[in-house]
Amino acid sequence: MRLRASIEPTSLRDFLTFEEHLEGSLQILGATEPHPVWYEMPVFTFYNRNAVAGPGDAIAVPPGCELLDFELELAVVIGKPGKDLTPEQAGDHIAGYTLFNDWSARDLMQPVIPFGMGPMKGKDFANSFGPWVVTADELAPYRREDRLALELHVELNGVPLPAGGDSSVNMAWSFEEMIAFASRGTELRTGDVLASGTCGGGCLLEYWARLGTDVVPPLAPGDEVTLVAEGIGALSNTIVAGADPVPLGRARPARERRQRDWSGVVGRG
């Protein structure tokens, strides 16, 4: 018998709440400091809720990827609907917490992110959840005011990453604040998942920013990645070979462009 994914999300939002991870990610891009907006709101993006994997499931290298990476995250599962919630109300809407591996094809993301439409195929192929959903009362001993203080680390082929792990107490925004922000003007529903974003030292990208891929190679078929969270457990997946990309050629220019007269447009009085 093998466990299935701990949750099949009705929607999946991934936030970016660990400042250390953000700084490491920016370093590889040559940036010096986070955008000011990051300090003003808990930013997030939507991911593919259909590409769900569970404990022990194989993760295929996505077509065309040569820089495959893992990302260690916590995720909260919504237990009852709510809209325009306050952080104080948000706790009553939490069913529990689970581990989330936000698999990333770094080389597929790099050319498209500047386009402004997100990571596209770089994040479209796999999201691992498990090993189970742990309720908030079970994690109460790890609570520090409005944060959970869970120790987090990654093991690659059975060996913990040498730079060490992180603690969820370092999240810039609490899960309750994330829920409140996500519920502004829209209803969160039972089964929705909100992920914390990658913790400090929780992915290979941060190693590449400091050491390069020659020292720390990307994931390859046969590698086993295990995420570990205090109070929740461990989530393991093994990398397998994937398919080759199907060629598409280049975009076709428009054949019948319209001639438009914008001069007659007037404002609404």
Q: Which mean pLDDT values do the consecutive 10-residue runs of the chain (269 residues) have?
A: 91 96 77 84 96 98 98 98 98 98 94 79 96 97 96 98 94 98 98 97 93 95 98 98 96 92 82
Nearest Cα to Cα of residue 216 among 84, 5, 28: 28
pLDDT at residue 35, as a whole number: 83
pLDDT at residue 231, as a whole number: 98
Contact (Cβ atoms closer than 8 angstroms) between residue 11 and residue 189: yes
- DSSP track, 17-80: --HHHHHHHHHHTT--S--GGGGTS--EEE--TT-EE-TT-EEEPPTT-S-EE--EEEEEEE-S
> What are the structure tokens assigned to 139, written together?
């994690």
pLDDT at residue 266, as a whole number: 84
CA distances to 85, 117, 182 from 193, in Å: 16, 21, 11
pLDDT tens-digit profile of 98-120?
A: 999 999 999 999 888 777 778 89
pLDDT at residue 236, as a whole number: 98
Q: Which residues does residue 74 pair with via DSSP β-bridges, in sequence order?
A: 99
Helices (H), 71-230: 87-90, 106-109, 175-182, 204-211
Q: Which residues does residue 83 pair with via DSSP β-bridges, in sequence order?
A: 187
CATH of segment(s) 12-240: 3.90.850.10
pLDDT tens-digit profile of 18-34?
A: 999 988 877 766 666 78
CA distances to 89, 94, 223 from 132, in Å: 24, 15, 23
Nearest Cα to Cα of residue 121 among 190, 26, 47, 42: 47
Which H or E element spans position 194? strand 193-195
